[in-house]
Copies of this chain bind each other. A is one copy, B any other.
């Protein structure tokens, strides 16, 4: 769907929404269906080929609407009000278009927290089943969780909230956690009387898109009764392409898995998905951890209107653009690549000091032509070039590189020789 079609479909949708709300009284306020009715009405897989908007909207009436409790019907007197107004809807349209991300805590972070809490509860029950005299607070004080030194800051925060210890596992030269590193820490901690209970692996770290070795880490966690949560917030979307599926090997050992379709699967923010091996581990205690809008609707729209092929093409194109940028960097011997380019992220820097690279980034930021953020890799200041926008084309990559090299040229000219 391009902008021209969006103009047309958007206006149809505005009318659909206005019709829906004007005639909402004509609909039964409460559905006459059993939970699970949807199963027979929808296919088990997303369509491979894109479908038409007309088919989709017919299915909105056929499939979705019969299952809806119409919270905005004037015959709805249950719970408390759920506010709704036309201006707020207009604002949400604009908000969706701007699609900027308010920072501090992402929804993948919440998945991490929930998995840690589930693991904590399970560990306490497991220890108390064997040593019934131990108090809950004693067990809690001995629990220890692990994650990569490259993991997202939200993992540490989950431990802070859950009031358990969290240890950072050092990574190898590819910024990945290897089995032997975790094993050593777990054995030391057990010898000291602590109880290892949780490991958060990362597939596609934030700084450099590194992949922890879960094929080996998984069996270790299973053997040690440690919950293995996998944070694949960014990289998870790539697993819809068979050629990237091997990066997911070892998933069979995981207790929980999270990725954010709002990062790389064309679903506007926010939309984060979580799988749990045993539902009861999560549901029995605090249910699904989020108040939620009807977010699955936008997944359904995107799956149907792009089709699997369209989504795969999007991922592949963005990986190709990253490879294109990587080639440009490699061809310029003033620069170096700092981590293997596996998906859509290129970590690079000028050969030279951290200060030099900090100055380069300052000039890039000041110019306001392109926007990048840095990371630290093994103490080195590195620039992260992530392929982000759906509309990024080769010409943007080429122009960005010309811009970066121009600024680098000016910077290097000014350096004392």
Q: Which A residues lie at the B interface, using CB under 8 A?
A: 1-7, 9-11, 13-18, 20-22, 24, 28-30, 32, 60, 68-102, 104-107, 109-110, 117, 120, 135-138, 140-141, 157, 160-163, 206, 233-234, 261-271, 285-295, 297-298, 300-302, 304-306, 318, 344-345, 365, 368-373, 384-393, 396, 400
Contacts and interface: CB of A to CB of B under 8 A. Distances in A.
Given A141-B137, A391-B72, A400 B77 contact: yes
Contacts of A300: 91
Number of copies: 2
22 contacts: A1-B87, A2-B86, A6-B86, A14-B93, A17-B93, A28-B368, A60-B94, A69-B371, A71-B98, A71-B389, A72-B390, A74-B389, A74-B393, A77-B372, A78-B386, A83-B264, A88-B266, A92-B96, A93-B93, A106-B291, A110-B291, A270-B291
A301 to B, nearest CB: 4
B1 A7 contact: no
A271 B261 CA distance: 22
Contact of A263 (B20, B29, B82, B287): B82
Contacts of A87: 1, 266, 298, 301-302, 304-306
A302 B70 CA distance: 22
A82 B295 CA distance: 15
A389 B70 CA distance: 10
Q: Which 7 A-B pairs have the closest CB atoms?
A: A137-B141, A10-B14, A91-B298, A102-B292, A91-B301, A85-B266, A6-B86
Contacts of A32: 368
Contacts of A270: 291, 293
B234 A80 contact: yes
Nearest to A383: B77
Contact of A18 (B10, B17, B286, B305): B10
Contacts of A70: 98, 100
A13 B206 CA distance: 35
A306 B135 CA distance: 56
Nearest to A85: B266
Contacts of A298: 87-88, 91-92, 95
A382 to B, nearest CB: 13
B76 A371 contact: yes
Contact of A86 (B9, B233, B271, B388): B9
Nearest to A160: B286
A294 B102 contact: yes
B22 A104 contact: no
Given A10-B90, A29-B370, A386-B81, A163 B162 contact: yes
A289 B89 contact: no
B269 A81 contact: no
B21 A97 contact: yes
